[in-house]
Structure 1
Amino acid sequence: MHQQAQRAVAGFQRARRRFRRLDHLARAVVRYDHTDGGRLAAAVTYYSFFAAFSMALLGFAILGSVLDDAAALRPVQGYLSRNLPSLDAQALREARGTAGLVAFVVLPVAGLFWVDALRSSIRAMWRLPQYPGNFFLRQLIDLAVLAGLGLLLTASLAAAAGTRILLNRLLFGAADAAGPPGRWLLGTAGYVLGIGVNVLLAVAALTAVPRLRMRLRRVLGPALFVAAGLELLKTLGRSYVQRAEANPAYQVVAGAVAVLISLSVLNQLVLFAAALTATSTRGSFTDLAEPAATPARQPTPTAGPTNNQRVIRRRGRPVRRMVGTTGKAHPPGRRR
């Protein structure tokens, strides 16, 4: 049994030397394990749950404002009935004021804690100082990163929705004429748009949050890994919520449990992607949080040997000799 284990380990080491991608994956797994990625993901999940709750309240407030328009009420009600049957559009419309107030108060605080936890965890994967710089400056930068991520998320979702609507209008006739192939084409386009938005957000999370700058080829693969995992997670999460809501015993906690599980898996994906990025050999990276190196000072006249001294290294040890006006060296302790 012991010999078989040794042969298996030797075979795996040979495979690592032969396939660079396998070696990279093995190094990322070791880095994730040594840095205790599961515990870090749990810490990020704790703070991201409150941030997600605040963002949901803000979304409900915005959605409640949109529902004042009778033309928008009908499609929103149809979407909620298909995906979130427990939510009522009229209830959202009535609760928009309170939800918006709570969101605007809680979201910045919860968001700052979430960015702080995510930044420190990703930098831990890179084996960099987790809390660089001044405390107050760090909070301001984290707040700017949070606002930037929010704007990026809004712009990305708006662009994806606009592109999907445009494709739907362009291919509507083809979908009616071709039947299932046209609908399959529309579904594929929506999936590709979702992957694109997820990749953009993953790149921002892996670079802007920890304040690292690197080549795109170094971060693109891990970002694709996060994007694909997020799409799969959304599909499984939607199925879980629909099944849980059908059981009266699970309706009370189904939503919260689904959010916690989804956030935990998502944060583990992000941190493992950070381990993949940190152990990659594709190009160098720059730590933007590290202060710029100060220029070296010129040595003072008294810092080194004077004009009448010369340091000669012999066998690794410096030997100081006095040099007279004639330029000849004299051993120390002896007079000329």
Structure 2
Amino acid sequence: MERGDRGQSRIMDWLKKLPVVGPWLARLMATHAWRSYERLDRVKWTRLAAAMTFTSFLALFPLLSLAAAVAAATLGKEQQDRLQDKIAEQIPGISDQLNIQGLIDNAGTVGLISGALLLFTGIGWVDATRGCLRAVWELPDEEENPVMHRVKDGGVLVGLGGALLVTVAISTVASALVGWIIHRLGIAEGGFGGVLLYVAAFAVAVLADFLLLLYVLTLLPGAKPERRRLVVAALIGAIGFELLKLLLSGYMQGVAGKSMYGAFGVPVALLLWINFTCKLVLFCASWTATGSKEQELGDQEDGEQDVTGGSGDGPGPAAAISG
């Protein structure tokens, strides 16, 4: 154990002995959530989140431009407005920056350039995200042929794009269905019935995010987490993602553009939103990678035996889990 870890352990032991706070702190430190955070702290998760934020920010704008260009060339005016509203829901504060008419006039050129940029930045995003998630699992980097590695990343990117389209479609249908039910039943949108319907739409959006996270938490790191931990982690991430959109949408739409950053207010706020989202994904990955307390203690003892020469030839626990 390093000197800093020993010092932190002594501080936590001292806090546990406090009269009122101590027992509650001891219970907290025995939870799976706390042990997941300890894993994140061990693998320097703030650095991992920064790397994911940078590559996500680079890949975001080609993705939006390509989607908007395709929509501008194929959809009608009402459908374009609906798409812009949907983008505003998924990525708060960015839809006002899109020039839909300009995309309609130059849809072919914009689509071609955005597609090429998205392929380049998207493959980089897949590679960076996989590396960060594998770091959370404490797995070594994959050794593959560089060309085949890029082809594989391209396939993952296409699959992720398809999963994203499915989730957006589910969310769009749910929102339209809520509006139709409200209109048909004559329910006041501000009334109790309207609130219940919007809660139902929120639940459908959570389900869509849940399915997407199942894809991300298993395929990208190349791991096989225990099923119950995977379901719980994906559910935590899905609810957290929707709450993040609700909490930050008001700030990004009403405050970011008027902040001290001036014209950079929206990009800065968008970076903040992406960073929180990346940290949430890393926490979900850590939840799936963290075993029970007994498993963690067993892995620790095995590691100490390896260091002392007890059994250094067998594969580590992470390799066994990853398959």
The one of the two structures with greater contact order (alpha-carbon pairs below 8 A, sep at least 6) is 2
Q: Which residue of 1 aligns with 2:53?
A: 45
Q: Which amino acid in structure 2 is aligned with residue 159 of structure 1?
A: I
Please report the TM-score for the alignment, with normalisation by the length of structure 1.
0.73
Give distance in 1, aligned partners of 2:65 and 2:272. Answer: 20
Deviation, 1:51, is 1.1
Structure 1 regions of 5+ residues with no counterpart? Answer: 291-336
Q: Considering fraction of residues, name the structure with more helix.
A: 2
Q: How many residues align?
A: 286
Q: Which residue of 2 aligns with 1:188?
A: 199
Q: Which residue of 1 aligns with 2:268?
A: 257
2:263 match: secondary structure: coil
Map 1:147-296 → 2, pairs under 5 A: 147-176=158-187, 180-244=191-255, 247=258, 250=261, 252-281=263-292
| Structure 2 residue 20 is matched with structure 1 residue 9 | no
The answer on whether the counterparts of 2:188 and 2:194 sit within 8 Å (CA) in structure 1 is: no
Over the matched positions of the two proteins, sequence identity in percent amounts to 29
Q: Deviations 1:234-255 (Å, cap 9, x if unpaired)? A: 1233212222465286552123
Q: Larger radius of gyration, structure 1 or 2?
A: 1
Q: Which residue of 2 aligns with 1:117?
A: 128
Q: Which amino acid in structure 1 is aligned with residue 57 of structure 2?
A: F
Q: Which residue of 1 aligns with 2:40?
A: 32
2:224 match: secondary structure: strand
Q: Which residue of 2 aligns with 1:94?
A: 105
Q: Which residue of 2 aligns with 1:320?
A: none
Q: Which amino acid in structure 2 is aligned with residue 150 of structure 1?
A: G
Q: Deviations 1:40-96 (Å, cap 9, x if unpaired)? A: 1111111111111111111221231145x2553565678799974454432332242
Give distance in 2, aligned partners of 1:107 and 1:4. Answer: 47
1:213 match: secondary structure: coil
The answer on whether the counterparts of 2:241 and 2:277 sit within 8 Å (CA) in structure 1 is: yes
| Structure 2 residue 68 is matched with structure 1 residue 60 | yes
Query: Bigger shift: 5-14 or 114-123?
Result: 5-14
Give distance in 1, aligned partners of 2:253 and 2:104. Answer: 23
Structure 2 regions of 5+ residues with no counterpart? Answer: 1-9, 296-316
The 1:177/1:7 distance shift into structure 2, 3 A limit, reads: closer
RMSD: 3.4
Q: Which residue of 1 aligns with 2:309?
A: none
Please report the TM-score for the alignment, with normalisation by the length of structure 2.
0.75
The 1:279/1:261 distance shift into structure 2, 3 A limit, reads: same
The 1:186/1:105 distance shift into structure 2, 3 A limit, reads: same
The 1:234/1:163 distance shift into structure 2, 3 A limit, reads: closer
2:31 match: secondary structure: helix
